[in-house]
Amino acid sequence: MTKVIKYNLTITIILISLFISKAQFISAVVGIDGLTCSACSFSTEKSIRKLIFVDSVYMELEKNIATVYFKKNSSVSIHSLAQKVIDAGFAVRSIHAIYDFQDLKITPDQCWDYENNIYHFIKIEKEQTLSGPTTIKFIGEKYMQKAEYKKWKLLCTNTCNNLTTSLTKNVYQITLF
């Protein structure tokens, strides 16, 4: 009888763990300037696929975008993703990522620490709770066209100094999309 109970308990724990989702990045759509041919698209896709956290990449040459899906339970670096586009010889026009939030309460100008990176929410109008897949837009010189960044630049002050440590990899300016 105890073997049956242990077996049932083990199965129950496994099933519960399968249904509990961990907050994480799911995917990103990267707008890419300069893609003009299938060879350009292929070299960019090949560059992005080298990232260990990338599960799959779908290029749309006619829209000049790459849709990137991330591996589950992996640490995602948006900085590295943008750098791979640049390494392939192109410019990042925009990055919009889908993050699966688990009841994160945010306020205007809030800083959020996730996986040793700091995410600074800018242009948030009111306090709110983010839950489930949510699209966030990355703001910065490496993550958008220069003309658009000029419009955002004044809002991109680093008010997250109290969270920044020597272990921090990047400080990202983000907004809801």
> What is the tens place of the pLDDT at every residue in 9-25?
444 444 333 334 567 99
pLDDT, residue 165, reads 59
Segments of the chain assigned E as strands: 24-33, 54-60, 65-70, 91-106, 111-114, 117-121, 128-139, 171-176
Sites in the chain below the pLDDT cut of 50: 4-20
Dig out the tokens for 124 from the structure: 């948030």
Q: Is residue 12 part of a domain?
A: no
Q: What residues make up the domain containing 126?
A: 21-176
Sign for the pseudo-dihedral over CA of 171, 89, 63, 151? positive
Q: What is the DSSP letter of 93?
A: E
111: in domain: yes
**Residue 4, C-beta contacts closer than 8 angstroms, at least 6 positions apart:** none
Q: What is the mean pLDDT of the chain?
A: 86
On whether residue 100 sits in a domain, the answer given is yes
How many independent structural domains does the chain possess? 1
CATH at 41: 3.30.70.100
Token pair recorded at residue 149: 């960044």
